[in-house]
Structure 1
Amino acid sequence: MIVRPKTTWFRMLFVWHGSVLNRILAPLFINFLLGLLAVWASTHAARFFPHLNPVPFSLIGVALAIFVSFRNNACYGRYWEARMLWGGMKIQARDFARFVTTLTGLPKDDPQVTRAMNLMAAFVYTLKHQLRDSDPRESLAGRLDGALVEEILRRDCRPQYVLECLQAQLVAWHRQGRYGEILLESALRKLDALSVVLGSCERIRGTPLPYAYDVLLHRTTYFYCALLPFGLVGSIGMATPVISVFIAYAFLAWHAIASELEDPFGEEPNDLALAAMAVDAERALLQTVDAPNIPARVLPDEHFRLR
């Protein structure tokens, strides 16, 4: 995720990191060369390169813009839902920590309370790693005992097993008489909400937009941008390479941005900063129990990128 301070309109024109320009630079350069070819052909080889009527390009451009907007809205909807899910998960984690510290009758430094906080943090980290297909061993090693870590790692859905461990702890406290049935049900509803977050994230991660949409948009966008200079040269002449690149930049950038937002849990510049969000959730848990060692907040790097 790109997190950079507000800047002037002039400096914004030259922003590079996070602008997807590096992904479309080669197609834009080819489009510029095609614009130069169209200008040369219109003056030196008009018989071999007939002028194309710009009207069909206008109609196709409008239709293509509508289709691009539809796909961008669908991809941004996935990004927005993922953002809301991770924000809701942090809220549920805070509520769980408040429940444990105020209703169980245990001191904040009790080993059972510490284990419950670490399990909740482990849920957040295992979910992050599952969504990014990475190994959570390092994230779990300093928070849980080795036997439990190995038990978690051998599961296919690791966050689900962490929820099972949390529920077992809540039930154990209930059987010890620390709270009644109503409070147990309230606590279990918090775990149910986390289970919904887990399933919803898996749905977003496992069901991308139909591949045919991506193929159709890719083909029509690139063919349109390739033929565009030959449709413009008859009306704008020498300005064709510049105007053609500007129009192509808009369409190709929309396409590239949608490709990034389609999987909001990835590690591309405009994806969600899951690592930073996981650390923030753990910090909230540890601050609730006044833990002495709280991890530092993750900050953007020199390119304003938050991972």
Structure 2
Amino acid sequence: MISYNPKDWFAFIFRFHKADTFRQLLPVIICIGIYTGIIAFLEIEYFKLSENHHLKNITIMHSMLGFVISLLLVFRTNTAYDRWWEGRKQWGALVNNSRNLAVKLSAILLEKEDKIFFRKTIPSFAQALSLHLKDEKISHELFEEFNINVAHKKHKPNQLVKLMSKKLFELKRQNKLTDENLLYINPEMTSFLDICGACERIKNTPIPYSYSVFLKKFIFFYVMTLPFGYVFSLGYYTIPVVIFIFYVLASLELIAEEIEEPFGNDENDLPTQRMAENIKKNIEEIL
């Protein structure tokens, strides 16, 4: 995720970063400019259409459709941001619950060996979840020190929660934990897979395909018909105007596409790996 100063206006205006939509749209913007220039040339120089031509009235359609497309884009960006923010809340809950579990275990457990076990497994869950959500390979080194083989297991975070649960009940059988102790730490233990499931729900349930395709087609045909009407009033100035309108509309759609899946490696995705490293530092300090 990009770190920035929200008060630095001039840096936003004049600096282009890797995730800037202008870079991604530049080839299409050039094509839109050429297309608009051709339409303007044909209407002004070749066909020599007058200002009274009926094509001038197409701007009425653009005025009505502009309101509709703005509503669709507002809904689109809000929906995408809700998914991004929901992912951030889930990882915030993971940070808090990992700390809470570590604090409780530090007060309950007396033997250093038991504390070391959870000092390794709790942060390992956050690291495994981050990689799991990115569909990246999870190193077996996370599990080798616990003497378990997960090579044939597809869901690695499940295995870590299973491992911690087995350890807790083993401590209970050794009379190192009481029933009250297990009830005391149960909310944090169950929250791990609840958070994992919520993140998987966001990751595996994209915006409906038909809605996304319709919006892209709407933007495309809206922009493609703009030059026909605006040439009569703007002449060749229609070229920069149409380019700017396309840039604004397409940029909103691109931004929504990027943030609706917040667990990838894009510039604006959640820094889950960094949060996992912070969890590790916190747990090592507590335990």
Question: TM-score, with normalisation over the residues of structure 2?
Answer: 0.91
Post-superposition Cα deviations, 1:163-196, rounded to whole Å, max 9, x if no partner, equal: 0111111222222223321221121221111111
Paired residues of 1:54 and 1:232 also in contact (CA < 8 A): yes
Aligned length: 282
Shift of 1:57: 0.8
Match of 2:9 in 1: 9
RMSD: 2.0
CA distance in 1, matches of 2:141, 2:129: 15
How far off its partner does 1:47 sit?
Answer: 5.5
Per the TM alignment, residue 143 of structure 1 is displaced from its structure 2 partner at its CA by: 7.2
Q: Quote the residue 1:19 is aligned against.
A: 20
SS at the partner of 1:32? helix
Structure 2 unmatched ranges of 5 or more = none
Correspondent of 1:75 among 76, 80, 95: 80
- Does the 8 Å CA contact 1:115/1:144 hold for their aligned counterparts? no
Unaligned runs of 5+ in 1: 290-307
Pick from 242, 252, 255 the counterpart of residue 254 of structure 1: 252
| CA-to-aligned-CA distance 1:16-52 (integer Å, 9 cap, x gap) | 2122222211222222222322332232023589644
* Partner amino acid, structure 2, of 1:122: S
Structure 2 residue aligned with 1:301: none
Question: How many Å apart are 1:144 and its aligned residue?
Answer: 4.7
Q: Which amino acid aligns with 2:77?
A: N
56-65 or 9-18: bigger deviation: 9-18
Distance (whole Å) between structure 1 residues aligned to residue 6 and residue 262 of structure 2: 23
2:108 — aligned with what? 103
1:113 and 2:118 matched: no
Letter of the 1:23 partner, please give it: Q
Say if 1:233 and 1:240, in contact at 8 Å, map to a contact too.
yes
Question: Alpha-carbon deviations, 1:41-69, whole Å to 9, x = none?
Answer: 23202358964421101111111111111
CA contact (8 A) 1:86 1:197 kept: yes
1:128–1:275: 8 Å Cα contact kept in structure 2? yes
Q: In structure 1, what is the Cα distance between the partners aligned to 2:31 and 2:91? A: 41
SS at structure 1 position matched to 2:110: coil
**Letter of the structure 1 residue corresponding to residue 156 of structure 2:** R
CA distance in 2, matches of 1:154, 1:111: 28
Deviations 1:220-252 (A, max 9, x none): 111212222222222222321111111111100
2:200 aligns with: 202
> Which stretch shifts more, 110-119 or 257-266?
110-119
User: Which of 96, 113, 124 is 2:126 aligned to?
Assistant: 124
3-state SS of 1:119 partner: helix
**1:57 touches 1:228 (CA, 8 Å); kept in 2?**
yes
Q: Equivalents in 1 of 2:226, 2:269: separation in Å?
A: 32
- Please tell me whether the aligned partners of residues 104 and 173 of structure 1 are also in contact (alpha carbons under 8 angstroms): no
* Superimposed CA distance per residue, residues 96-144 of structure 1 (whole angstroms, 9 cap, x where no aligned partner): 11112111123xxx2321121211111111111111111110xx52675
- Output the CA distance in 1 between the equivalents of 2:264 and 2:229: 38
Aligned pair in 2 of structure 1 residues 184, 142: CA closer, same or farther (>3 Å)?
closer
> What's the CA shift for 1:6?
4.0
Deviation larger for 85-94 or 261-270: 261-270
Q: Report 1:280-295 matches (<5 A).
A: 280-289=278-287
CA distance in 2 between partners of 1:29 and 1:78 (Å): 32
Assess, with a 3 A threshold, how the Cα gap between structure 1 residues 153 and 16 changes in structure 2: closer, same or farther: farther
**What's 2:141 paired with?**
141
Contact 2:44–2:235 (CA under 8 A) maintained in structure 1: no
Aligned 8 A contact 1:163 1:191 in 2: yes
Q: Which is bigger in relative contact order (C-alpha 8 A, separation at least 6)?
A: 2
Amino acid at match of 2:164: L
Tell me, in whole angstroms, the C-alpha distance in 2 between the residues paired with 1:245 and 1:131.
37
Q: Which amino acid aligns with 2:172?
A: H
Aligned to 1:59: 64
Change (3 A) 1:8 1:130: closer
Contact residue 128 and residue 157 of structure 2 kept, 8 A: yes
| Residue pair 1:118, 1:143 contacting (<8 A) in 2 also | no
